[in-house]
Amino acid sequence: MPGGRLTQQDRRDIAAGLAKGLGYAEIARRLSRPTSTVSREVSRNGGPGAYRAERAHQATERRARRRKQPPRSAPPSADTAYGRDPEELREFTERLVETLVQTGVQRMASRVLACLYTTDTGTLAAKELAQRLQVSPASISTAVAYLEEQELIRRERDPRRRRELYSVDNALWYRSFLASAQRNFSLAETARDGARVLGPTTPAGARCEFVGEFLRLTGEDILRTAERWRHLLVPQTRDNPE
């Protein structure tokens, strides 16, 4: 049927056309199909020299059966302990992800961060994150690299199993605030350089001067606020006295 899925007869006609030396466009015209449909069908089933109608049809049916299989559910999480309601936990996690996205955190990074924060240990390996979020290891790798750059997670080595673990704790928000202040200071310095280059009395130079001063002041505010409330986030230790 033109426009629908290829039938077994369509595949026989494709094989016959290839045997006659017809091009994809001509075979597609005879089948009333797009040329791309024919070329994709042939390329995924051995190419022009190895295409066999029956084998191609069987392979397509196998792929269709695999797609119909229900996706594997994520492994049960130990974080539904303490009498937590799984549905409420899921809804909260989704809300946390959306909130993080609205603050500018990348979506996959937000999902990783939310997963870690709703885990009692606060620590998971990359494989565990991929299993819980049902994404590829590559997606996890990109997300954790971003979060490390923002100083929102900590990477540590598991000496017993030779794997890397990713952790969150309260002190990370303190360190993230400090990193944010440092970025403000760097931008402020660049803006002041721009004012000098453009000329502080010109409109463009004055704009850079204003931005630089604003970023300097907000950076100082961030530092003061972080230090003021540090005792809430960073436990007192001998190395970190109040």
- Residues 123-149, mean pLDDT to the nearest whole number: 92
Residues 166-211: tens digit of each pLDDT:
999 777 778 778 888 888 899 999 999 999 999 989 999 999 999 9
Q: Contact at 8 Å (CB) between 130 and 140?
A: yes
Judged against a pLDDT cut of 90, whether residue 139 lies above it is answered with yes
CATH topology of domain 86-168: Arc Repressor Mutant, subunit A (1.10.10)
Q: Is the dihedral of CA 80, 88, 133, 174 positive or negative?
A: negative
pLDDT confidence of residue 163: 86
Judged against a pLDDT cut of 70, whether residue 241 lies above it is answered with no
Q: What percent of the chain has pLDDT over 70?
A: 88
pTM of the model: 0.55
Q: Compute the residue count for the chain.
A: 242
Q: Tell me the two tokens of residue 113.
A: 């961060």
Average pLDDT, the chain: 83
pLDDT confidence of residue 66: 64
pLDDT confidence of residue 1: 43
pLDDT band for position 114 (cuts 50, 70, 90): very high
3-state secondary structure of 54: helix
Judged against a pLDDT cut of 90, whether residue 116 lies above it is answered with yes
Distance CA 124, CA 155 (A): 10
Q: How far is CA 39 from CA 12, 55, 86, 127, 235, in A?
A: 15, 16, 47, 37, 63
- Residues 148-170, mean pLDDT to the nearest whole number: 85
pLDDT confidence of residue 75: 45
pLDDT confidence of residue 67: 58
Closest CA to 96 of 17, 168, 37: 168
Which among 83-92, 142-151, 209-218 has the top mean pLDDT? 209-218
pLDDT confidence of residue 123: 92
| 125 vs 227, higher pLDDT | 125
Residues 56-108: tens digit of each pLDDT:
888 888 777 765 555 444 444 546 667 778 888 888 888 889 988 888 889 99
Q: Look at the block and give the residue holding tokens 């004055």.
A: 206
pLDDT confidence of residue 69: 56
End-to-end CA distance of the chain: 77
Distance CA 76, CA 130 (A): 14
pLDDT confidence of residue 2: 52
Judged against a pLDDT cut of 60, whether residue 3 lies above it is answered with no
